[in-house]
Structures are given as structure tokens and as C-alpha cells.
Amino acid sequence: MPEEHLSRAARLLAEGEFFLCVEWDEPYFPAVGLIRAEGNRKGTWTAADEANYQYWIVNVKGGE
């Protein structure tokens, strides 16, 4: 796994923030869209976060 794709988790860990991991095949994965939208609204979901998210959707989930 490329290290740059761990940036958000690493940042949250370093800041002592609580976060939740959701696998793409879990039934509540669609709620991630709500999390992304709220993060965008608050400014906590960065362009790099979105690029990493898109990378995984296309290259990992899309390859399943």
C-alpha cells in the first residue's frame, strides 16, 4: 500500500483524533458520502483526501 494513501489516517492519529474505518463492502459504506460532504463543508476533507479516496475507489474497489 503506497504510504501517501495513509496520509489522512496518519494525520488523525498524530492529532489524537477519533476516526472510523469503513470497508467498501460493508452495507453502510454509502454513508461515507455523507462523511465526505460534511468534511468538505467544514474544510477537514482535503483535496489530497479526495484524491486518495478516488484512487482507492478506482484502483482497489474497481479491481475487485
pLDDT tens readout for residues 7-62: 778 888 888 988 888 887 889 888 888 989 999 999 988 888 898 888 888 887 66
- 42 CB burial (10 A radius; 0-12, 13-18, 19+): exposed
Q: pTM to 2 decimals?
A: 0.64
Q: Domain limits at 53?
A: 3-63
Q: What is the dihedral of CA 47, 51, 53, 59, to 10 degrees?
A: 180
Overall number of domains in the chain: 1
